[in-house]
Amino acid sequence: MNILIINASPRRNGVTSGLLGEMSSNMDKGHVVETVRIDDLAMRPCIGCLKCRPDKPCILPPDGAQSLAEKIRWADLLVFGVPVYWGNMPGTLKIFFDRNVPLFEYCEARSVRYIPLPRLKGKAAMLVVTAGCPFPYSLLPSQITGTVRSLKTVLNAGGVKVLSVLRVSDAFEFEKKKDAYMRKAARLARSI
């Protein structure tokens, strides 16, 4: 199986990165695993020209948005590590998604009908979402719940099945619960 781990955290040694590293090291050696840090990619934001619709490549010069799209096409399983930013994903991940709408869905508007067709059917995803606030506040729409909803909106549009979500509350106090969360991450990885 081809597995792509997408780390949307800007922190190289933070909670999200640590959990993704634990997952990667516990995946079966028969899998082909690649990790990409969104912050290592140079990506221009979407300019809203709609030239990619319904089924064309982005007209902006090739950059990290197109190279990551190719890796997603290659992967059977996507693992997203995402810290919570105002109940949503970090802007760098959002830029990637905005630049690659046709990767996820063929969408065409015809008079009064809007016809979206998923493009990544058959792929699966796991989500690791980390928040700084403690449980139960982390379940608010302005925290983990909102971030998971945003990610699922994009993945569902593409027909990607979300297999699991590891929710990590109180990342500022992560060291106190690190062992338990690392065991959960390892268990998820071994379940693949």
CATH number, domain at 120? Answer: 3.40.50.360
The predicted structure's pLDDT at residue 28:
96
Low-confidence ranges of the chain (pLDDT < 70): 108-115
The predicted structure's pLDDT at residue 115:
66
What predicted TM-score, i.e. pTM, was given to this entire model? 0.94
Bridge partners of residue 81, in order along the sequence:
7, 128
For 3-28, the pLDDT digits (tens) are: 999 999 999 999 999 999 999 999 99
Domains in the chain: how many in total? 1
Sign, Cα dihedral of 172, 178, 181, 187: positive
Range of the domain at 80: 2-190
H-type alpha helices, 26-173: 64-74, 91-99, 101-104, 144-157
Query: Could you please report the per-residue DSSP string of 22-63?
Result: HHHHTS-TTSEEEEEEGGGS--PPP----TTTTT---SSPP-
The predicted structure's pLDDT at residue 64:
97
Strands 161-168 vs 77-83: parallel, antiparallel or unpaired? unpaired
The predicted structure's pLDDT at residue 131:
96
